[in-house]
C-alpha cells in the first residue's frame, strides 16, 4: 500500500496521544451507495460502507459474535438511539444489528463490532491506521 500518510489533530491540545495517523484506502466513488465492500489492509480484513446518507464507515469484516468474515455483506440501515439517527449494519447470518459509529450491538448482548475512524477528503477516503 502507499506509504503516504497524513496527520490530523482531532483536538488542539498539542498532545501526541490526541493525534491520529490516517492512511489512504480508496476513492469514495469506488464504494457503491447502500453497500459494503471487503478490504484487506495490512493483513486486517475490513468492511467499508457507504450509506444512503452518503456517510462512510469502516469496521472489522469479522462478525464479533461468530468470527465469520461476513460484515461487508451486512445489511445497511438506520435507527433512532436516544433521539439521534444512527447508521447500522446487520450481520447477514444471524441479523445482530451494530451501530456503525460506535460498533455497539443494539439487539443482543454481543461484543461490539470493532470500528475504525474514516474520513473523506476531496474524494479520497482515509482510515485511522491499525496498530
Binding region for ligand FES (CB under 6 A): 63, 65-66, 68, 91, 93-94, 96
To the nearest whole angstrom, how small is the minimum distance from the Cβ of residue 65 to ligand FES?
4
Nearer to ligand FES, 81 or 93 (CB): 93
Strand 118-121's sheet: what is its strand order?
Answer: 6-9, 19-27, 124-128, 118-121
Please, what is the Cα angle at 82 between 76 and 83, to 5 degrees? 80
- Which one, 25 or 91, has the nearer CB to ligand FES? 91
Cβ proximity to ligand FES, 27 vs 95, nearer residue: 95
Phi first, then psi: give them for residue 3, nearest 5 degrees: -95, 0
Least spacing, CB of residue 104 vs ligand FES, in Å: 14
Amino acid at each position: 500500500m502507499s506509504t503516504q500518510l497524513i496527520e490530523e489533530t482531532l483536538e488542539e491540545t498539542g498532545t501526541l496521544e490526541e493525534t491520529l495517523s490516517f492512511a489512504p484506502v480508496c476513492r469514495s466513488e469506488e464504494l457503491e451507495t447502500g453497500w459494503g465492500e471487503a478490504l484487506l489492509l495490512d493483513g486486517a480484513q475490513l468492511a467499508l460502507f457507504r450509506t444512503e446518507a452518503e456517510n462512510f464507515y469502516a469496521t472489522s469484516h469479522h462478525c464479533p459474535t461468530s468470527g465469520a468474515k461476513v460484515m461487508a455483506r451486512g445489511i445497511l440501515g438506520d435507527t433512532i438511539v436516544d433521539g439521534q439517527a444512527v447508521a447500522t449494519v446487520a450481520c447477514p447470518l444471524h441479523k445482530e444489528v451494530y451501530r456503525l459509529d460506535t460498533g455497539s450491538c443494539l439487539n443482543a448482548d454481543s461484543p461490539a463490532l470493532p470500528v475504525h475512524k474514516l474520513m473523506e477528503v476531496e474524494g479520497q477516503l482515509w482510515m485511522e491506521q491499525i496498530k
